[in-house]
Amino acid sequence: MISHLLDTNAVISFTGRKSDALVRRVLGKAKGSIGLSSVVAFELYFGALKSARIEYNLETVRLILADFPILDFDQNDAFVAGEIRAALAAKGTPIGPYDLLIAGQAKARGLTLVTNNTREFSRVENLQLEDWSL
């Protein structure tokens, strides 16, 4: 059962082994307990396709996506993301559009979001956050 959702920056840190702590935490979790949003998959594909080493990076993305369950962004995720955007807009503290969608999906499904970007995501009320890079 999925309990955690990795943000794009956490996936990139894991893949590039930029944080030993993050790698240990991901590898220490039971298979299938960490998922990726289809929004994260989009961001990874975009990064690969705009890179200088397109084929190499597309293969890396393919391998990453094969290792984690991918959660499709559904209507309930969209509703919760809309609620978050409205609340943040009312406070004048917006977050990036893709982060908003990922946060909405994590919150809608009661998942803990693993990110290195806690400063931005902490603006979202009642979103469970963890930074495994520390």
Of 37, 28, 128, 134, the residue nearest 78 (C-alpha): 37
As a dihedral over the C-alpha atoms of residue 134, residue 28, residue 47, residue 2, rounded to 10 degrees, the angle is -110
99 is in an annotated binding site: yes
Residue 126 gets the label, from left (phi > 0), alpha (psi -120 to 50) or beta, of left
Euclidean distance between CA atoms 121 and 84, whole angstroms: 11
What element of type H or E holds 124?
A: none
> Does residue 106 contact residue 80 with C-beta atoms inside 8 Å?
no
72 is in an annotated binding site: no
Query: Which runs of consecutive H residues, i.e. helices, occur in 29-131?
Result: 38-49, 54-67, 75-91, 97-109, 118-121
From the annotation, which residues make up the binding site for Mg(2+)? 7, 99
From the annotation, which residues make up the binding site? 7, 99
